[in-house]
């Protein structure tokens, strides 16, 4: 049986943070496709195959994990999280909140909306890459997901 290539969706409006995440993942030889979108509206279009992403309707079935920032333009991360966890097609996709916000209300709201994990982005480059490596080992290598 052939394994499906599973994708990582990185929803991050800060280009520097996105580059750090992608670099850390590639450094560890992750073979998953990494799709980077810049805001919550684009993330929803990507996942639900709308707008510029309307051509690929199998998108939901190829996502291994979504790395989601909270504070973004257009549609914020908490709203994206809420919409994804409320939809039967996407509610089982693991969503890791990867954000600079350490505010208790953001952590609590994220878990209440169904986040699978909440990671505050470390400021230090070495700590940041270590956090991504740990995230990668668990969510990409250890964690089992439902493949439809």
Model confidence pLDDT, tens digit, residues 22-53: 887 777 666 778 889 999 999 999 999 898 88
Q: 64 CB contacts (<8 Å, ≥6 apart)?
A: 6, 7, 8, 32, 94, 139, 140, 145
In a domain, 49, yes or no: yes
Torsion angles phi and psi, residue 128, rounded to 5: -65, -50
Torsion angles phi and psi, residue 73, rounded to 5: -75, 165
3-class SS at 108?
Answer: helix
**CA distance linking residue 39 with residue 135, whole number of Å:** 21
Q: Which pLDDT does position 2 carry in this prediction? A: 41
In a domain, 2, yes or no: no
Q: Which residue has the tokens 């953001």?
A: 106
CATH number at residue 14: 3.40.50.2300
In a domain, 148, yes or no: no
In a domain, 35, yes or no: yes
In a domain, 146, yes or no: no
Residues spanned by the domain of 73? 7-140
Q: Which pLDDT does position 58 carry in this prediction? A: 63
What end-to-end distance do the CA atoms of the chain give, in Å?
14
Domains held by the chain: number? 1
DSSP 70: S
To 10 degrees, the CA torsion angle through 90, 81, 36, 124? -140
Q: Which pLDDT does position 63 carry in this prediction? A: 82
In a domain, 107, yes or no: yes
Q: Which pLDDT does position 86 carry in this prediction? A: 96
């Amino acid at each position: 049986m052939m394994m499906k290539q599973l994708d990582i969706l990185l929803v991050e409006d800060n280009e520097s943070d996105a580059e750090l995440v992608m670099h850390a993942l590639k450094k560890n030889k992750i073979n998953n496709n990494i799709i980077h979108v810049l805001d919550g509206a684009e993330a929803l279009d990507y996942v639900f195959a709308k707008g510029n992403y309307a051509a690929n309707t199998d998108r939901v079935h190829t996502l291994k994990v979504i790395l989601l920032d909270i504070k973004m333009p257009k549609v914020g991360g908490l709203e994206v999280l809420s919409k994804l966890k409320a939809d039967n097609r996407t509610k089982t996709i693991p969503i890791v909140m990867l954000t600079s916000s350490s505010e208790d209300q953001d952590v609590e709201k994220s878990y209440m909306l169904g986040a699978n994990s909440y990671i505050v982005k470390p400021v230090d480059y070495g700590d940041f890459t270590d956090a991504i490596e740990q995230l990668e080992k668990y969510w990409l290598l250890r964690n089992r997901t439902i493949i439809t």
